[in-house]
Structure 1
Amino acid sequence: MRRRTILAFLLVAAVWGTAFPVTKVALASIPPALLAAVRFDVAAALLFALAAWRGDRLRPAGAEWRPIAAGGVLLVGVHHALLFAGQLYVTSAVAAVLLGLIPVVTPALTRLTAARERLSPVSLVGVLLGFAGVVTIADPDPTALAGADLLGVGLVFASALAFALGAVLTHDAPTTMPTVAEQAWMMLVGAAVLHATSAALPWESLGDAVWTPAAVASLLYLAVVAGAGGFALYFWLLRRVGPIEVSLLEYVIPTFAALAGWLALGESLAPTTVAGFAVIFVGFVLVKRAAIRAELRRWRDRPGPDTAAD
């Protein structure tokens, strides 16, 4: 189970990290909020079809609407809506730094709910080192940070808060609904929020979308792999390890995004990017030091071939 958790964590980071260059391709033809809305339309349809094929119960009842509302409205809908709106005013580097605050604010938000997770002082240092690594990779221009539009900063920071709060509330809400059906409803609720956002933005229109083969292929990747697959793994991790540990994804995703941009789009890997990788790695070792020690001890104590033969 421990190895499955690690594998799921790395897969989510890889899938969501590679989504950044894919999104860049899609945004050349499709307005951003509309792209996100259609992405989750397709993801919801796929998950509903899978749930129906499995014979799962599709209709939520009573308190089962709580995690659906928290995940759909906050994690999927409000987060993406505020993020896209904020990125109209700030650079991608500034947005990356602000999103890197998610693991920093999540422990404080857990105090508002029954999910009373805590960070030790050493783990807190690791979280802060991870944030420093994100800042190093983003390498924002100090003048851009100083001159960033306050509205844009506020919108992107609000999107980070919405994501962190959605994770805490979703984890804290008990549910007996089948996982696939629950996630399908979250995608559908989030898509509705994003469609409303797209309709409210005067500069977005369905008629502005150009459905080129590259845009459609990118949309399918974002919907099927990063949407349905990525969020399914994310919610599985959220239920298993809690909102604080799963929030550390925000420190690994930029690493995969930078590598994907380098491999797929020929973007350069600056020395600051490599340095950021190293800082994030040190931060992770500090946060997960107990699990790493336990795994090393288990590997060390594993009997060798000669011992097993005896």
Structure 2
Amino acid sequence: MSDIAEPTDQHTPAAPARPADPSLRDWLLLGVLTLIGGASFAGIKLAVATALPGTVSAGRLWAAALFLLAYAYATGRRLPAFIRRQEGSGKGWTVSTEWRFMMAGGVIGYAIPFTLFPFAQQTVSSMLAGIYMAFMPLVTIILARIFADEELTVRKVTGFVLGTTGVIFLIGPAAIANILSADVIAQGAMILAVVCYAIYAVLTRRAPEMQARSFAAGVMLSSAVAATPFALVSGQDWSAVSALSWLAILFLGLFPSAIAAILIITLIRKAGAGFMALTNYATPVVAIIIGMSAFGEPLKPTFIAGLVAILIGLAIARTKQITFGARGLQRLIRPRR
């Protein structure tokens, strides 16, 4: 999983009732998606070296929005009408239901967290940001029970408790004594960003049916518009932004945002959401490897303990999905005779 909220099956066109077993191509796409997601936090670290969080957020969102709009229209998709006449005489016009969901999703699922993560990574490591993203599916489970009436089983509760324990390990006992330190505030910002991602995941389950590519493009366009005012008033010295930071912002927009969204749609349609969810386990590991090798970031024991607790909790909460993915891997390694 990248630092982009994952679309759900609801917005995936022509999804099969029972996804086919993952092929070699599916596993390769999953590997690319995992690598892109893990590298996104390194990209943010490079971007914030000379660019403010608002600049990073708006820049990557506009790059992603323009790419997804071009992709959607090139493949025969169109955005829904922005306003529609209300039913009944004399009721005038109103913003369409599709755009209400896309605008809400753009603000909650992208504009806010895409600003919070660069803010946090001004003071915390890229690997820690990647680890926190693994907590998102567990938060989604709780929010889905509250707002979408989804079943909350003992397995899911156990997984959430273990994941929360992992977050406590990440923050560390020193946070109690230094509750207002920059590091703790940054981690609080990442937790808030993760909650925003989880809210967006639940929100998409309530959204009206529409083509996945149209939905993704509309949400990204909404998020780019919402992030722009903050970038303009943030006090950014545009001449101070280095070429490397601009390249990092462009990378974040095209790869972890736009191309990742297309890969997610492709994998869900072909192999199912359970298979695609395996990125939740591998992405933090990729973020750790890149953080250590590229930036020399230290891997603290509390990071290891927190990641292990979160991943175990995630495994318990999503047992059935993991079984499906493992079966596909087994068949890939040992094909039928």
TM-score range, shorter chain: 0.7 to 0.9
Counterpart residue number, 1:255: 285
Aligned to 2:22: 3
Please give the TM-score of this superposition, normalised by the length of structure 1.
0.74
Whole-angstrom CA distance in 2 between matches of 1:299 and 1:95: 28
Q: Tell whether the 8 Å contact from 1:252 to 1:280 is kept in structure 2 after alignment.
A: no
Match of 1:118 in 2: 151
**48-57 vs 98-107, which moves further:** 98-107
Mapping of residues 69-88 of structure 1, within 5 Å: 69-84=103-118
CA shift in 2, pair 1:94/1:146, >3 Å: farther
Structure having the larger proportion of residues in helix? 1
Report the CA distance between 1:292 and its aligned residue.
4.5
Number of the residue aligned with 2:261: 231
Residue ranges of structure 2 left out of the alignment (5+ in a row): 1-18, 83-95
Indicate if the aligned counterparts of 1:104 and 1:128 stay in contact, CA closer than 8 A.
no
Whole-angstrom distance in 2 between the partners of 1:297 and 1:101? 24
Residues 27-66 of structure 1: pairs in structure 2 closer than 5 A: 27-60=48-81, 62-66=96-100
**1:149 is matched with which residue: 180, 185, 190?**
180
Overall identity of the aligned pairs, in %: 28
Shift of 1:36: 1.3
Return the alpha-carbon distance in structure 2 between the equivalents of residues 256 and 301 of structure 1: 25
> Structure 2 CA distance, aligned partners of 1:56 and 1:168?
24
Q: Relative to structure 1, is the Cα distance of residues 300 and 6 closer, same or farther in structure 2, using a 3 angstrom cutoff?
A: closer
CA deviations 1:69-105 (Å, max 9, x no partner) are 23211101123335555677x7569977876664444
Which residue, out of 187, 202, 218, partners 2:220?
187
How far has the Cα of 1:167 moved from its partner? 1.6
Q: Does 1:220 align with 2:241?
A: no
Give distance in 1, aligned partners of 2:42 and 2:279: 18
Write the distance in 2 (CA, Å) between the matches of 1:287 and 1:112.
17
For residues 251-290 of structure 1, the aligned pairs below 5 Å read 253-290=283-320
TM-score, normalising length: structure 2: 0.69
Q: Deviations over 1:178-198 (max 9, x none)?
A: 322321221121112222222
Residue 3 of structure 1 aligns to a residue whose secondary structure is coil
In the alignment, is residue 127 of structure 1 matched against residue 127 of structure 2? no
Counterpart-to-counterpart distance in 2, 1:20 and 1:301: 33
Partners of 1:46 and 1:142 in 2: how far apart? 44
CA 1:105–1:282 in 2, change beyond 3 Å: closer, same or farther? closer
**Unaligned residue ranges in structure 1 (runs of 5+):** none
1:161 aligns with 2:195: yes
* Cα distance in 2 between the residues matched to 1:207 and 1:295: 46
Task: Verify the 8 A CA contact 1:110 1:117 in the aligned structure 2.
Answer: yes
Structure 2 Cα separation of the partners of residues 37 and 165 of structure 1:
21
Give distance in 2, aligned partners of 1:273 and 1:38.
30
| Stretch moving more, 116-125 or 182-191 | 116-125
Contact 1:35 1:219 in 2 (8 A): yes
SS at match of 1:117: coil
Aligned CA distance change for structure 1 residues 292 and 87 (closer, same or farther; 3 Å): closer
The answer to which of 182-191 and 54-63 deviates more is 54-63
Residues 172 and 235 of structure 1: CA distance in aligned 2, closer, same or farther (over 3 Å): farther
